[in-house]
Amino acid sequence: MSNKTNFVASMQKAATTQGQQQAVLKTIYETYFDRGYNAGGADELTDEDVASLGVTAADVAGFITVCEQFGNFMTGQAVMTGDYSVATNKMRVDL
């Protein structure tokens, strides 16, 4: 393959991953609120609920904000400025 073909193939792979993750993040966001896991929700998520995973309820809520803002970005809605890499990195398990 030429460099240009490799480049575009890499873009296609990244776009595919991004599109798949958009759907996953949307589902996570919706489920969080549908199940009442949010602060003040019917079944509010607590630190105790997630302690065994090495995160806090605040970490989870921070990633919910990431999900929301990514969805806004992908659908042309206003995006709130923030360092979303911090919230993402707190939830990662691959490092």
Cβ atoms of 76 and 70 closer than 8 Å = no
* Helix axes of 3-34 and 57-74: crossing angle, nearest 10 degrees: 120
Distance CA 44, CA 89 (A): 23
> For the chain, which residues make up each domain, given as ranges?
23-91
Mean residue pLDDT of the chain comes to 97
| Each residue's pLDDT tens digit, 29-84 | 999 999 999 999 999 999 999 999 999 999 999 999 999 999 999 999 999 999 99
pLDDT for the residue numbered 77: 98
Distance CA 63, CA 83 (A): 11
